[in-house]
Amino acid sequence: MNGYFADVGALARKDLLLELRARDTLPAMLLFVLATFVVFHFALPSGSSDLAASGLLWVAIVFTALLGLGRAFVPEREQRVFDALVLAPNDRSAIWVAKALATLAFLAGVEVVALPVFAAFFHGIGAATVGGVVLADVGICAVGTFVGAMATASRARELLLPLLFLPLAIPIVIGGVGASIVDSPGRYLGFLAVYDLIFATLCWASFDYVVAE
Amino acid sequence: MAVAIALIFFVAPEDADQGISQKIFYFHVPIALTAYACFGWGAWKALRHLWEREPGADLESYTAIHQGVIFGALTLVTGSIWARASWGVWWTWSSNQLVLFLVLFLFYCAYFMLRYSVEPGPQRENLSAVYALFGVVLIPVSFFAIRLANDFIHPTVFTSRGPQMSGTMFTAFCVALAAMLALAFTFYSVELVGKRVDARLRELRAAERPATAARRVPEAVAR
């Protein structure tokens, strides 16, 4: 088990180090989310309620995550690292765990900037929204990296990822929007936690089949 | 099927509120349940494929999901007609089942996109099977999510029909359900046979090709 965590650590460290050197994904995601907020400002006519802005925050999060997820497996594909990783004598689900953690780090990094900016541009954000975002991030990264790996195996790749991901992300959006706009968000946060648990387990158990030939 | 149609139109009493449009209930609900059954069967075959490497399970899973998508699309259409007839709108977001079917429809359409953009082979079978399994997990999760969403999108959920059905209505419903399942099973079997023949033909052609290629080489040399 210790070896498993060491594998996960090494793989996640590789992704973070790569990002630190190349700086491909994080600045792009950051710029994208800021641009989205500006678009939303003009998309919402003056006088629209704060509720609409809360909903759009979730649209921004999901699409920003999608941008990051689309890049997640690009280094593996371009340098043919995937083949080597699959051949390596470690548990293959470690590849997924590490990738999900690295993507989670990127997404969290973006949101640390994006949420205060959202609060400045639109309206204040409560603790429930932050909690919802944290729980949703886990689900988005778990499911997203999983379908990202699936999309990598196909010819359509970037085209396919949103198609595979968005239907699975609809429950996340429902839970997240619910948590940000109702007075007692407990049920929605609970739902997000259950979603994370169910899908993370499913991904963890079946990742082996996605990469194995 | 014919018996079901006869029962629906001639035997079952008309609904007091909705009149003739209520008849579509006998099509809509059995079609929806049949679609669930197809998705469930597809996922079960997917599990068999992953777990026991049952030969042919991949094809069966794919065929079942194909049928499920067809019946799912029919559910959307009949549901939309029913909504039009009884509520006056073509689409309503307050009908949980319809929204769920829309989500599932999108999800399973992506299944086909995935399947057709991966080269045929063991990897495609695995990916399809894993995705099919995600589908049956997504059904209850989405169902609860959409129920939850109703709390903030529509404060009151209006129900389209009362829970009670009279005896003849229930009989007609059961017969319609059985007929629909039988229809789906027939389609499934026919499609499966067709697909198996296709696969076998492809194998035979692939086996034949090197032989013909070998025969052609001496001709080319002679020329």
Give the per-residue pLDDT at B157: 41
Contacts of A181 (CB under 8 A, 6+ apart): A51, A54, A55, B152
pLDDT digits (tens, 9 = 90+) for A146-158: 999 988 888 877 8
- Judge whether residue B202 has pLDDT over 50: yes
Question: How would residue B165 be classed by pLDDT, with cut points 50, 70 and 90?
Answer: low
Q: Which of B117, B129, B152 sits opposite A154 (nearest CB)?
A: B117
pTM (predicted TM-score): 0.82
Q: What is the largest CA-CA distance in chain B?
A: 85
CB contact under 8 A, B148 and A191: yes
Nearest CA among A174, A188, A104 for reference residue A144: A104
Q: Share the mean pLDDT of chain B.
A: 78
Report how many domains make up chain A: 1
User: From the CA of B64, how many Å to the nearest CA of chain A?
Assistant: 19
- Left (φ > 0), alpha (ψ -120 to 50) or beta: where does A91 sit? beta
Most confident of A41-50, B3-12, B121-130: B121-130
Higher pLDDT, A199 or B202: A199
Tell me if B41 sits within 8 A of B77, measured CB to CB: no
Q: How far apart are CA B168 and CA B6, in angstroms?
A: 12
- Where does residue A154 rank: exposed (0-12), middle (13-18), buried (19+ CB within 10 A)? buried
Which residue range(s) make up the domain with A74?
A: 2-212
- Judge whether residue B18 has pLDDT over 60: no
Using an 8 Å CB-CB cutoff, list chain A residues near B146: 174
* Range A12-16 average pLDDT: 88
Neighbours of B2 (CB within 10 A): 7
Give the per-residue pLDDT at A22: 83
Using an 8 Å CB-CB cutoff, list chain B residues near A195: 141, 145
Mark out chain B residues that contact chain A at CB-CB < 8 A: 50, 103-104, 106-107, 109-110, 113-114, 117-119, 122-123, 126-127, 129-131, 133-134, 137-138, 141-142, 144-146, 148-149, 151-152
- Judge whether residue B145 has pLDDT over 90: no
Q: Helices B96-116 and B122-153 sit at what angle, rounded to 10 degrees?
A: 160
Q: Which of B104, B113, B145 sits opposite A160 (nearest CB)?
A: B113
Give the per-residue pLDDT at B213: 58
- Judge whether residue B216 has pLDDT over 60: no
Give the per-residue pLDDT at A102: 92
If you measure CA to CA, which chain A residue comes closest to B135? A168
pLDDT digits (tens, 9 = 90+) for A56-88: 999 999 999 999 998 888 888 887 887 788 888
Give the per-residue pLDDT at B60: 87
Q: Which of A167, A170, A175 sits opposite B110 (nearest CB)?
A: A167
State the sign of the Cα–Cα–Cα–Cα dihedral B88, B93, B96, B101.
positive
Give the per-residue pLDDT at B82: 82
pLDDT digits (tens, 9 = 90+) for A106-128: 999 999 999 999 998 888 888 88
Using an 8 Å CB-CB cutoff, list chain B residues near A174: 145-146, 148-149
Q: If you count residue pairs, one on A and one on B, with CB atoms under 8 Å apart, how many are there?
A: 91
User: What ipTM was estimated for this complex?
Assistant: 0.84
CB contact under 8 A, A178 and B152: yes
- Judge whether residue B89 has pLDDT over 90: no
